[in-house]
Copies of this chain bind each other. A is one copy, B any other.
Amino acid sequence: MLTYDLENRGGLPLYEYLYRCLRDDILSGAVAAGTRLPSKRALAEHLRISIITVEGAYQQLAAEGYVIARPRRGFYAAPVDHPPAAPALVEVPAEESSPRWRLDLKSGRVDSFPSAVWARLTRQALSEGGHLLPTPHQGLPALRRAIAGDLRDFKGMVVSPEQIVVGAGAEYLYLLLAQLLGREQVFALEDPGYPKIRQVYAKWGAVCRPIPLDGQGMALESLRASGAGVAHISPAHHYPTGIVMPIPRRQALLRWAEEADGWIIEDDYDSEFRFTGRPIPTLQSIDARGRVIYVNSFSQTISPSMRVGFMVLPPRLLERYRRELGFYASTVPALEQQVLGRFLDGGWYEQHLSRTRKKYRLRREAVLEAFAACPFTAGLTDRGAGLHFLLRLNTRSDDEALRRRAEGLGVRLGFLSEYAAVPDPAYAHTLVVNYAGLDVERLGETAALLSEVFF
């Protein structure tokens, strides 16, 4: 009969150790498939253990399929692979570790996370249990009401909370929109432009057409010629050119959407940072025909690590969204939705915005002044908005050579030419400066380091 040394079992419970011994014998073939195991009573007596212990081991073996229990006949070893596929020691490719830059003009984001208020609101939300409420796929009603209120008070947008869909960041919303608008659509994208927009739509399998920009934004004739049914634009402050789309072009795009029976995705990224004058009315707010899908997020204004964005759907699309995509669960934790809703309702968000706006305005002025005086600067394009500007370089070197040279010195640069799908010599020798992460106290060093790169 099966005999095992049950003394040296390394702290395992008796039934579990017995289970393992039997399992290993079945796997190794020592107990062949079809073999009847000893009865529980017989094995218990043989090993001088209780029947309950044997029972536990046999049941586990049966549950996992190593043995087959036949009523009133006993337990039989099941046919299994010998030897079992052992987990191989696999080589896992290591992640690219992100280098520590001495200077980073490409991402350059600072984080202005309002930790103290956030902690207080989180504690409140947890103690009141609001985070346990079921979360509809469009997001918590309280958060959507707060967002609609903020859009009304600070952007003059008349939006019902029912039109709002909350999601885990702008990219996730692009992915939802790709699914909503359909793969057969042609997407017109600003060129140059933010590469992730193209990446998401292209992954989805949609045809993406790069549309050149003139001084006012997406060029209309090219848009018309593209056959696109969807235009994804960022009129408030285009990345990376910084163009702010004037009213006539906004109106012309709305007319295009009506004529083409198309949709405009208004990506309102960066609109909160306008340093001169009032914010320009969004396309959504002057859209009478329900052609505009408004998208924004809290990544720039609170923190990129927050992962909360939202979109405002026109009524026609709303029904389609609910019918076709309503099965998706909300992607943002209920707790975070609660806290963000309170943050907006309590006025902390606007307070926070006003504070960061002031901070960035000062930083922007200092950086522009310092860079204007540098010999490597041929010109600055300052549109009075957003967290980046363009700097034309006083150089004839190739962008790629400069980028490599900079990397060697621990400096990360972003060039306008990198953002173009269709290359154009006009884009050369132009830096996209994301200034928000720069240290104003060290602008002298920064300028010196950049001079090393460019001369």
Contact = CB atoms under 8 A, between A and B. Distances in A.
A111 B132 contact: yes
In the complex this chain forms, how many copies of it are found? 2
Nearest to A383: B63
A248 interface: yes
Given A85-B289, A277-B60, A334 B305 contact: yes
A117 to B, nearest CB: 10
B196 A65 contact: no
Nearest to A159: B92
Contact of A85 (B95, B254, B278, B329): B254
A225 interface: no
Nearest to A85: B288
A30 interface: no
Contact of A168 (B119, B332, B384): B332
Nearest to A118: B126
A85 B134 contact: no
Contact of A288 (B87, B129, B216, B249): B87
A162 B183 CA distance: 33
Interface stretch (A314-322, A388-396, A417-425): A314-322
Of listed A19, A249, A277, A285, residue having the most chain B CB within 10 A: A277
Interface residues of A, number: 107
Interface in A146-166: 158, 160, 162-163
Contact of A251 (B80, B172, B332): B80
Nearest to A319: B93
A78 B285 contact: no
A20 to B, nearest CB: 10
A332 B306 CA distance: 8
B64 A246 contact: yes
Interface in A171-196: 171-172, 175, 179, 183, 195-196
Given A63-B384, A126-B119, A318 B285 contact: no
A328 B248 contact: no
B131 A65 contact: no
A307 interface: yes
Interface in A181-221: 183, 195-196, 199-200, 203, 205, 216
A116 B16 CA distance: 35
A252 B248 CA distance: 66
Interface in A301-336: 303-308, 314-315, 318-319, 322, 324-325, 327-336
A305 B330 CA distance: 8
B134 A78 contact: no
A171 B328 contact: yes
A62 to B, nearest CB: 8
Given A93-B318, A118-B126, 7 more contacts: A87-B158, A92-B315, A122-B123, A171-B328, A171-B329, A175-B175, A335-B336
Shortest 4 CB-CB contacts between residues of A and residues of B: A65-B246, A305-B334, A85-B288, A168-B331
